[in-house]
Structure 1
């Protein structure tokens, strides 16, 4: 299963999203049961999309992430295409719909 790059600052997050054509950012907190349940599902789904780079941010560690991306709850999944946000999913993520959104972007960019 693919692993996520741990990002520890806003600067690292910006470099991550700006330096990859396709980037997924998973924002969570350690005591969030929904986060812990969703992360393995996202990891499994991302097996089908190897060109998407994966990043993880602990919102307790990087507290400014909330204001930076206007986040009100966790988990949040942000998908960036060439540094621009294209998909945002928060809290309860319907994996089949999320997969459809990712697949459409992926096919248009990667083929």
Structure 2
């Protein structure tokens, strides 16, 4: 499993989006059972994509995250490529679909 980088502020998230070519942002809440069960599955998938930066933020602790990213439910996965949101998956995420989408996008943007 791949660990996530914990964000503690909206400014950290904004800096990461500006800095990293591709990043996946996992937004959750503390008492969300779906959030807790999905995170290890996403971490497993992310192990296959070491060049995609992987961040986590709790929208209850960083309340401005919900407004900035228009979050109405959790968990939410947001994939940013070169500062632009390219993928949004919310609540019930199909892991196989996520893996396929990440593979396509990383092939397009991270090909050497």
Counterpart of 2:29 in structure 1 is 29
Counterpart of 2:99 in structure 1 is 99
Tell me how large the CA RMSD over aligned residues is: 0.8
**Counterpart-to-counterpart distance in 2, 1:97 and 1:54:** 18
Instruction: Kindly indicate whether residue 68 of structure 2 is the aligned counterpart of residue 68 of structure 1.
Output: yes
Counterpart of 2:59 in structure 1 is 59
Counterpart of 1:8 in structure 2 is 8
Structure 2, unpaired ranges of 5+: none
| Moved beyond 2 Å, runs of 4+ | none
Structure 1, unpaired ranges of 5+: none
**Counterpart-to-counterpart distance in 1, 2:77 and 2:89:** 5
Counterpart of 1:17 in structure 2 is 17
Instruction: Please list the CA deviations of residues 46-77 of structure 1 after superposition, one character each: whole Å capped at 9, or x if unmatched.
Output: 01101000111011100111111111000000
**Counterpart-to-counterpart distance in 1, 2:71 and 2:40:** 21
TM-score (norm 1): 0.96
